[in-house]
Amino acid sequence: MVEFIKKYSMHIFIVIIAVLTVYDIIIWDGLSPVRKLINLFAILAILHEIEEKYWPGGFVELMLKKLGVKTDDFDESRAKLNVVIFWLVYIALGYVFDSAIFLFMMTVFLAIFEALIHTAGIKIHNLDKPYTPGLVTAWLMAILAIYSIIQLNGYGLIVPIDYPIGFVLFVLSFIALASQTYKLAGLNMKEVIRRIKSQ
3-state class (DSSP) for residue 55:
coil
Q: Considering only CA atoms, which of 159, 45, 147, 143 is closest in space to residue 102?
A: 159
CB within 8 Å of 50: residues ≥ 6 apart = 10
Backbone angles phi, psi at 188, to 5 degrees: -110, 175
d(CA 35, CA 13): 18
C-alpha 81 chain-centroid distance: 12
pLDDT tens digits along 20-53 = 999 999 999 999 999 999 999 999 999 999 998 8
DSSP per-residue letters across 116-167: HHHHHHHHHTT-SSS--TTHHHHHHHHHHHHHHHHHHHHTT---TTHHHHHH
Assign 122 to helix, strand or coil.
helix
Q: What is this structure's pTM?
A: 0.91
Where exactly are the structural domains of the chain?
A: 2-197
pLDDT tens, residue by residue, 115-124: 999 999 888 8
Mean pLDDT of successive 10-residue stretches along the chain, which has 199 residues:
88 97 97 98 96 71 74 79 95 97 98 95 84 93 98 97 98 93 82 73
